[in-house]
Amino acid sequence: MKYTLGIAVLISVAIVSFWAGVGSVEAPEPETIETQAPFRDGVYLGFIHYAGSDSISFDDAIWLSGKEGQDHAIERGLCTEETRTDCLPNDYIIKNADEKDEELSVSADAKIVMQTYDAGEFGIMDKEISLDEFAHLLNDKGSHWNKLPYNVTIHGGKVVKIEEIYIP
């Protein structure tokens, strides 16, 4: 009985999978979506090299882990095939999509969330700051803030949220 039920489930899954794919268009690879400018509504990973009163200079990137991350690290000469499994200590690498900054408009009421800005005895936690405060931190070339990755949320053609990505 269990054997017959298992076969029936497998056949059902195969039929549904077949019909779900009929007439559908294959989605583009994620890298294609993440690296297209102008940016559409969505959340993008990248680096912010400059922040002004109503815009940022944004360089999109791609977070790679596992085999994809290892392959990219080998391509960049950061490790070899022999050291593949040990070359990414936290199993990720950030690939710079195109090394080209895009100027993005920032909404006047954009939410800026930092995770390590006020890290202390309570550890890593979200802290909302103003765009002016963020620009002051980011534009200080002697600080580390312009070297960190951020998630940038775009809605209606404007940046509505900037969020620091904590990397231990």
Domain ranges (residues) in the chain: 32-164
Note whether 34 and 45 are within 8 A (CB). yes
Q: According to the model, what pLDDT value does residue 58 have?
A: 94
**Segments of the chain with pLDDT less than 70:** 1-38, 118-123
pTM for the structure as a whole: 0.69
CA distances from 57 to 2, 9, 44 (A): 60, 52, 13
Average predicted confidence (pLDDT) for the chain: 77
